[in-house]
Structure 1
């Protein structure tokens, strides 16, 4: 009944996987997803796109934030940040690059936070 559906949606919203909710309530996983769709309940899987958006991740990375910092901030994996940057066609910095700065022909350049281009300092 309605109480069961409500209980299932509460479990999903608290982070329980739909498959586990289905097993506990004796319904199919597909039915749990159908209830989620009907009741506008988001999937418990945290993706960057759902949590914050690829554009924001790209801006923060180009501004100089480290991938690990961004991942920690939004409670997603580092690989989720890598995929987000790939979707946004953002070139990754070398691991040892000083954040936000690079040296080109002996001249220190900064990375423009707006466009990501190297500009002499």
Structure 2
């Protein structure tokens, strides 16, 4: 990452490439984050993958209908037993789209699965 000084003020963020982040108190120093871009199709795939995974966990009784976790240990085991089934989610998170994914798929289990995929 590099810091750039620019005379105009920038506002807002976007997922992926060229994220503008204010780093100076004067309002004119910015860090440009050239992280991999997450396309809309990749984001849709990640959201679909997470929704399907949550639906499966709900059918298995590990997650309640409201998305709350009833058995956290079973969720951890399910994520770690076959990480390849959450590949699109892992790529989207690595590309900086975790907030977008969590905005689309709400609930305690979505937050837990996302944290497990990222290893945090």
Q: Same fold (TM over 0.5)?
A: no
Q: Provide the TM-score with structure 2 as the length reference.
A: 0.29
**Greater gyration radius:** 1
Length-normalised TM-score, structure 1: 0.29
Larger relative contact order (C-alpha < 8 A, sep ≥ 6)?
Answer: 2
